[in-house]
């Protein structure tokens, strides 16, 4: 049987043309027992808040992309309703209901419903169930359980760091709901204990994504066995808003890295999803078009982060609206100031040419020592120099490095960005190097690798990290066998994995690495962590790119 895929809803717009004003063709219900009830008016007014005046779903109000979780329940159709003028109507689908809502006025609106009717709602135990509403009191009980007011007060950050939960549909099939990040899932009442480890089979970003794009038209079959051909990403999103799962009708085409790829069967699509997942869901080109964003650091200071290009920034959850002009962040760096800055600290590098460089250490005599994350403790030695074009004021940088790092030294580099907070960008044609200053990397407190190892084994450690929002207190316990166990005090869930330390005596680096497969801690495994602060009761780790951190505080009970 083909697997079922449920699309993530982060942003999409329904096609207004799908909805038209009520006409004489609407089904009129004759001689039905339709009761006037304020509950139907209240529920429909709340449902209308999920849509704009054109009938488009409001993205911020629908983070999961499923009506049951974004609203609270879904009516089972047909549904017999009445207007305040006595006219009755039979509604056969959500589309029909939205048509009624967006065309309602203060003078003409729904005020009655035929009892009993049925709704589909989440039972809190992993399944969607069908509930019968027999009267107005039961209807009000349903609305009270929705707790709409608390949902409105839940504010979440706009970073795409998806988490998934597995749900059983009324027909017994299981499907996956994907939230943009943990915050939205927690707001819907889920806990980290509900999250499944692998979201790969539920991968899609409506409105387009940074891994692949569908080539339309394509055809899908919904869980109600309805075949729909869609002509755009928006139409696809519309068709799936109140569907629990769907299957593709193969074959169809996608565009990956500007190349056309035909997906001939389910196995090929799964392979594409796994490719996207192995690339962080976001493979980006190495083109040098730096963009900058302003962020607030853990200490509360405003900092500027520079990315190689817009794709890299968007992969970290930023949008074009967050971008600031990198040039305006460039300080008055001249040749002498650049040299002074370079020799003061170690610099972490991100380059379009190589992906395994951790640190550059520049010496005043023009020598250079490179430390990599390849597992070798042997440094790579080379030289560096800086020159200024007195006519243009441009500053150039040159390197002399052995293979395979001579791909860096084979190019002449121009300093294009020099920021006061320790960012230096070099460009050569379409290639770039982004240096970020790390003055702590060579001064990891008083800890040697042996001391840090022994210290970590003695007690539990409270943990905090920039990789995700820590809702509950989390305790990490390190074992001599190389096992780490992380327990959330809020859910009492324990996740296990591996940890180890490596060091480079000549550079003073101590690296901590993890192999954890369970979400959300599996993100630890994506980085080599540099120990930047270390004492008996406190350990601070910084990712090699300088963008993430893990903080441990000792807790001995």
Residues 399 and 459 in one domain: no
The whole-number pLDDT of residue 440 equals 53
Q: How confident is the model at residue 355 (pLDDT cuts 50, 70, 90)?
A: low
- Percent over 70 (pLDDT), the chain: 76
- Boundary (domain end) residue, out of 171, 196, 221: 196
Residues 170 and 37 in one domain: yes
Residues 62 and 189 in one domain: yes
Residues 102 and 186 in one domain: yes
Matching residue, tokens 């327990």: 487
Residues 341 and 416 in one domain: yes
* DSSP tag of 388: E
Is 389 part of any domain? yes
Residues 34 and 144 in one domain: yes
User: What DSSP line would sit under 228-253, residue for residue?
Assistant: EEESSHHHHHHHHTT-S-EEEES-EE
Domain count, the chain: 3
Report the CATH number that the domain containing residue 537 is assigned in CATH: 2.40.128.280
The whole-number pLDDT of residue 168 equals 92
C-alpha closest to that of 342 among 415, 401, 449: 415
Is 228 part of any domain? no
Residues 423 and 484 in one domain: no
Matching residue, tokens 């299981």: 174
The whole-number pLDDT of residue 6 equals 42
Matching residue, tokens 């499907």: 175
- Backbone φ/ψ region at 454: left (φ over 0), alpha (ψ -120 to 50), beta: alpha
The pTM for the full model equals 0.49
Is 290 part of any domain? no
The whole-number pLDDT of residue 52 equals 79
At 200-228, the pLDDT tens digits run: 655 555 555 667 888 999 999 988 888 99
Mean pLDDT, rounded, of the chain:
77
Residue 28 sits in which domain range?
16-196
In the predicted model, is pLDDT for residue 14 greater than 70? Answer: no
Is 176 part of any domain? yes
Rounded Cα–Cα distance for residues 417 and 526 (Å): 28
Q: Are strands 88-91 and 79-83 parallel, antiparallel or unpaired?
A: antiparallel
At 473-532, the pLDDT tens digits run: 788 999 877 889 998 877 788 899 998 887 654 455 678 889 998 888 888 988 878 887
Torsion of CA 390, 395, 396, 401, to 10 degrees: 130
Is 546 part of any domain? yes
At 61-99, the pLDDT tens digits run: 777 888 898 899 999 999 999 999 999 999 999 989 988
Residues 474 and 406 in one domain: no
């Amino acid at each position: 049987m083909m697997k079922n895929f449920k699309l993530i809803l982060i942003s999409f717009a329904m096609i207004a043309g799908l909805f038209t004003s009520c006409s004489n063709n609407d089904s009129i219900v004759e001689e039905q027992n339709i009761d006037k009830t304020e509950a139907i008016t209240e529920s429909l007014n709340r449902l209308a808040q999920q849509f704009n005046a054109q009938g488009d779903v409001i993205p911020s109000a629908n983070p999961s992309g499923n009506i049951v979780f974004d609203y609270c329940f879904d009516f089972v159709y047909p549904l017999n309703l009445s207007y305040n003028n006595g006219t009755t109507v039979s509604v056969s689908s959500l589309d029909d209901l939205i048509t009624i809502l967006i065309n309602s006025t203060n003078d003409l609106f729904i005020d009655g419903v035929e009892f009993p009717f049925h709704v589909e709602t989440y039972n809190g135990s992993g399944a969607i169930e069908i509930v019968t509403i027999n009267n107005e009191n039961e209807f009000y009980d349903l609305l009270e359980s929705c707790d709409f007011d608390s949902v409105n007060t839940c504010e979440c950050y706009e970073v795409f760091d998806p988490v998934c939960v597995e749900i059983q549909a009324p027909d017994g099939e299981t499907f996956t709901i994907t939230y943009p990040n943990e915050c939205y899932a927690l707001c819907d009442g889920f806990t980290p204990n509900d999250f499944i480890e692998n979201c790969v089979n539920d991968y899609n970003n409506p409105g387009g994504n940074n891994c692949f794009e569908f080539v339309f038209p394509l055809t899908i079959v919904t869980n109600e066995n309805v075949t729909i051909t869609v002509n755009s990403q928006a139409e696809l999103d519309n068709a799936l808003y109140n569907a629990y799962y769907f299957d593709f009708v193969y074959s169809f085409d996608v565009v990956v890295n500007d190349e056309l790829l035909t997906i001939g069967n389910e196995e090929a699509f799964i392979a594409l999803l796994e490719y996207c997942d192995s690339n962080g869901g976001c493979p980006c080109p190495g083109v040098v078009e730096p963009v900058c964003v302003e962020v607030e650091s853990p200490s509360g200071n405003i900092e500027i982060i520079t990315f190689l290009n817009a794709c890299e920034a968007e992969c970290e959850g930023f949008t074009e609206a967050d971008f600031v002009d990198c040039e305006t962040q460039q300080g008055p760096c001249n040749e002498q100031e650049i040299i002074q800055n370079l020799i003061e600290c170690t610099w972490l590098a991100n380059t379009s040419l190589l992906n395994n460089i951790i640190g550059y250490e520049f010496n005043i005599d023009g020598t250079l020592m490179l430390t990599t994350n390849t597992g070798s403790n042997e440094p790579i030695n080379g030289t560096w120099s800086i020159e200024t074009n007195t006519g243009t004021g441009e500053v150039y940088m040159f390197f002399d490095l052995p293979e395979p790092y001579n791909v860096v030294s084979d190019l002449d580099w121009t300093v294009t960005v020099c920021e006061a907070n320790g960012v230096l960008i070099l460009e050569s044609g379409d290639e770039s190097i982004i240096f970020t200053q790390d003055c702590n990397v060579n001064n990891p407190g008083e800890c040697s690798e042996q001391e840090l190892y022994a210290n970590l084994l003695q007690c539990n450690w409270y943990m905090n990290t920039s990789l995700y929002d820590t809702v509950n207190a989390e305790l990490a316990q390190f074992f001599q066998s190389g096992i780490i166990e992380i327990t959330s005090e809020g859910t009492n869930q324990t996740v296990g994995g591996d940890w180890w330390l490596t060091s480079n005596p000549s550079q003073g680096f101590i690296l901590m690495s993890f192999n954890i497969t369970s979400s959300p801690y599996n993100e630890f495994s994506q980085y080599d962590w540099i120990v930047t602060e270390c004492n008996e009761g406190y350990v601070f780790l910084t990712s090699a790119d300088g963008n993430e951190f893990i903080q441990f505080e000792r807790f001995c009970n």
